[in-house]
């Protein structure tokens, strides 16, 4: 049997009606699985329930139908079994009253690393995101891009088996985002975590991932297509014509599924 890192089986998420607003079927029968060490992007228009899937896999949301497992264990089991899951959000979500170092220490502590290992791990990840000099700065003293780099450092500090990323570069300017994408791939190359990366940017998805899963627009969003990109050689470059051409076909296939609407 093939080993899967992440697996969703017929996951349906319905937000119950609240007050006057009707119930909202966010995701309908979502099924997919990933191999260990695979970089998978979920590509779809805004508001199609991509983040909902990440919240289910991270344990933030436990009201859903269907089955979600990480390395064969249900999400609630992973909390105890020592499988490390990291989450990089759209915003850095650093605690502003703690220094960068102390923010990473928080994640190391909750993931059960012994304090004697902390300094070494922090130094390593901070040098990977080129923030070594800023370890003792408070987040509000850093720029938005640096804060996001610190949150990437926090995620990799715990050496996660699974890394969930929710449009982490969408709030940054394009040049900063480009640099961070390259840095991300470089660090991922060292750690080889399974990455589930949610985005609405087709080029970003093509540049980063081994496989793209496309979702339709909500309500009742579902997976509608899959693009295998493992034949695109790594390391990839922004100037590479093949990356560009592939991203064009990805966009065309996406338009074929959801129609050329006002999104993007």
Partner 1 sequence: MMTGTERVCFCISIGRCHFGNEPFSGIGIYPSRNCEQSFAPHTEAGMMEHRSAMQAAKIAIKTAVAAREPEAMSSPSGRASSGRASGHGPGLGPGLGSGPALNAVAVGGTSAAAPVPATQPRAPAPDLSRFRQSLEIFLGENAITLLSMLSLVALWYLGSFVLPPSIMPAPHVVADILWTLMQAETIWSDVIITLGRIAAAFAIAMVVSLIVGFAMGISRVAERFLDVWVICLLTMPSLVLILTIYMIAGLNDRAAVLGAAVPVIPILSINIWQGVKGVDYKLIDMGKAYHATRGRIIRSIIAPQIAPIIVASARFGLGLAWKMVLFVELLGRSDGIGYRIEFYYQMFNMGAVLAHALLFLFIMLFLEVVVLGLLERRLFRWRPAQRNL
63/47 Cα distance (integer angstroms): 19
Total interface residues for partner 1 by CB under 8 A: 25
In the complex, the smallest distance separating the C-beta of residue 88 from partner 1, rounded to whole angstroms, is 9
Phi, psi angle pair for 40, to nearest 5° = -115, 135
246/212 Cα distance (integer angstroms): 11
| Piece in contact with partner 1 (CB under 8 A), picked from 54-62, 119-127, 183-191, 206-214 | 54-62
CB-wise, 110 or 252, nearer to partner 1?
110
What is the three-class DSSP state of 192? coil
CB-wise, 95 or 119, nearer to partner 1?
95
Q: Considering the rule CB under 8 A, would residue 22 count as an interface residue with partner 1? A: no
33/150 Cα distance (integer angstroms): 29
Sequence-separated contacts (24+) of 13-22 with Cβ below 8 Å: 13/49, 13/52, 13/56, 13/61, 13/63, 13/64, 13/65, 14/65
34/85 Cα distance (integer angstroms): 15
Q: Considering the rule CB under 8 A, would residue 4 count as an interface residue with partner 1? A: no
CB atoms within 10 A of CB 73: 13
Per CB under 8 A, which of residues 127..186 are in contact with partner 1?
A: 138, 140-141, 158, 164
Strand ranges, E, within the chain: 6-15, 24-34, 39-43, 65-70, 73-74, 85-88, 162-166, 194-199, 211-215, 223-228
Q: Considering the rule CB under 8 A, would residue 79 count as an interface residue with partner 1? A: yes
In the complex, the smallest distance separating the C-beta of residue 71 from partner 1, rounded to whole angstroms, is 15
In the complex, the smallest distance separating the C-beta of residue 15 from partner 1, rounded to whole angstroms, is 16
Q: Considering the rule CB under 8 A, would residue 93 count as an interface residue with partner 1? A: yes
In the complex, the smallest distance separating the C-beta of residue 141 from partner 1, rounded to whole angstroms, is 6
The residue among 32, 104, 16 whose CA lies nearest residue 66 is 32
Tokens of 244: 């560009």
Q: Considering the rule CB under 8 A, would residue 85 count as an interface residue with partner 1? A: yes
Binding mask 94-123 for partner 1 (x = CB under 8 A): -xxxxx------xx-xxx------------
CB-wise, 92 or 236, nearer to partner 1?
92
CB-wise, 83 or 172, nearer to partner 1?
83
| Piece in contact with partner 1 (CB under 8 A), picked from 84-92, 127-135, 229-237, 245-253 | 84-92
Binding residues for partner 1, rule: CB under 8 A, are 58-60, 79, 85-87, 89, 91, 93, 95-99, 106-107, 109-111, 138, 140-141, 158, 164
């Amino acid at each position: 049997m093939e080993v899967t890192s992440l697996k969703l089986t017929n996951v349906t998420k319905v937000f119950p009606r609240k007050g006057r607003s009707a119930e909202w079927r966010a995701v309908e029968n979502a099924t997919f699985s990933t191999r260990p060490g695979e970089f998978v992007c979920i590509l779809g228009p805004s508001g199609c329930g991509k983040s909902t899937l990440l919240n289910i896999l991270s344990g933030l949301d436990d009201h859903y139908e269907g089955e979600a497992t990480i390395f064969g264990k249900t999400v609630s089991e992973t909390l105890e079994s020592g499988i490390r899951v990291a989450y990089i959000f759209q915003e850095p979500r650093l605690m502003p009253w703690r220094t960068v170092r102390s923010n990473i220490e928080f994640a190391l502590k909750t993931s059960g690393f012994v304090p004697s290992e902390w300094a070494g791990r922090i130094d390593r990840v901070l040098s990977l995101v080129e923030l070594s000099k800023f370890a003792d700065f408070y987040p509000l003293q850093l720029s938005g891009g640096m804060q996001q780099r610190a949150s990437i450092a926090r995620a990799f500090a715990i050496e996660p088996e699974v890394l969930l990323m929710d449009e982490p570069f969408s709030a940054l300017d394009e040049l900063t985002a480009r640099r961070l994408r390259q840095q991300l791939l470089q660090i991922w190359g060292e750690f080889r975590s399974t990455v589930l990366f949610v985005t609405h940017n087709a080029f970003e998805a093509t540049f980063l991932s081994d496989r793209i899963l496309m979702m339709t627009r909500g309500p009742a969003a579902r997976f509608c297509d899959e693009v295998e990109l493992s034949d695109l050689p790594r390391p990839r470059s922004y100037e590479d014509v093949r990356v560009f051409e592939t991203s064009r076909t990805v966009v065309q296939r996406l338009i074929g599924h959801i129609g050329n609407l006002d999104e993007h």
